[in-house]
Amino acid sequence: MKLYLSILIFSYTFIISAQSLKLEDIMKGDEFIGQQPTGHKWSPDGETIYFNWNPSNALGSSPFFWKEGMEKPALLPDDQKFLMDIPSDDQKDQETVYYIKSGSIYSFDRKSNTSKKVFVTSERLSGLIRGVDPDILFFRKEDNLYKFNIREASLIQITNLKKSKKTEKPAKENFLSNQQKELFAFIREKDAQKDWTDKRIAENKDFFPKEYNYDPLNLNFLTPSPDGKYVCFGLSESPEPKPTRVEQFITSDGFTNSENAREKVSINNLGKYKYGIYSTEMDSFYTLDFSGLTGIKELPEYYKEYSQLKDKEKTPKMVRSGQPIFNKSGSLVVMDLKALKIKTGGWSALSLCQVR
């Protein structure tokens, strides 16, 4: 009897609350229920939590902090906002932490709790990774990776990836050009001088990574191993779907505008993906083949119920790979692979690969 009475009271309270909730309040979203904190992260010493929050429904969020003993979160002072950029999940064993802020490299000293600039450039840097040697930093600038030795103050480009149209081959010699060489010794001497100069330049040229032109594909997930021996990268071919236009009736000038909207869902929008590895020691490129992985050719069970599908040939699914994750020594790497076409059978794999 007490159980039924409790249910009755709860139902009555819920109905009364629902009746007092207005549509205008529902449409307010977070302004009605309260803004939620985002971007949580620990401080370098692990005693403070930083996050972005908008408790007063302002136009945007502001950085806050909280630690044990505080009654409520407080605004982060301006002179401490740089602490939110310092990574807390890696370089835990290092006294000096290196990180990227606004496209430049900074260092943070745990003892003095201070930060300073290390490498500032107008070209934005990204993907900072600390190597097995704590004095080695790897980072990405545009489409290539660089190795920065802090102790020796040296900066070396370790990849030579380019997205450029292939140059046309020089025209073959024809009858007229051969005749000119036969008639004029000046032309023969000029060509011989050019060949001699090119050979001398090639002999004296320092080593530089082999060029890899990935045009017309797009470069993704450019990641070095912590020991710098290998570089993983993904290549994707993105189709150009027909743009979707939507009329925008509420505008600042009072005129209706046609704006771009999200493209329609279609298998025609799926791109093709490849995954490559570059060996810095061998100066060679390799492409991974996923067609031999377990389950990648399996078809969904419902195919057996349709005559036009049950005898369909099993082919490897189109897969997309995510950001590779290396262990500290660089000997092992974890790769996340997912099938693109869900209707032909969902498939995903978490592969642990040994780097040789």
Averaged pLDDT for residues 131-150? 93
CA 188 to chain centre: 53
Q: Token pair for residue 220?
A: 């993704």
- Each residue of 61-106: pLDDT tens digit? 899 999 999 999 999 999 888 888 888 777 878 889 999 988 999 9
Q: Check residue 9 and give its pLDDT.
A: 46
Taking the alpha carbons at both ends of the chain, their separation in whole angstroms is: 71
User: Which pair of tokens denotes residue 30?
Assistant: 């977070």
Supply the DSSP string of 28-70, one letter for each residue.
Answer: TTHHHH-PPPEEEEE-TTSSEEEEEE-TT--SS-EEEEEETT-
pLDDT-derived band of residue 243, with 50, 70 and 90 as boundaries? confident
Q: Is 238 helix (H, G, I), strand (E, B) or coil?
A: coil
- The reported pLDDT for the residue numbered 250 is 79
Q: CA 91 to CA 88: how far, in whole Å? A: 8
Torsion sign across C-alpha atoms 81, 85, 86, 89: positive
Residue 186, sorted as left (phi over 0), alpha (psi -120 to 50) or beta, turns out to be alpha
Residue among 155, 117, 116 at smallest CA distance from 139:
155
Q: What mean pLDDT do residues 17-33 have?
A: 64
- Kindly indicate the confidence band of residue 201, based on its pLDDT and cuts at 50, 70 and 90: low
Amino acid 174 reads N
Distance, in Å, from the CA atom of 102 to the CA atom of 119, rounded to the nearest integer, reads: 11
Mean pLDDT of 299-309: 83
Residue 126 vs residue 315, higher pLDDT: 126
pLDDT at 16: 46
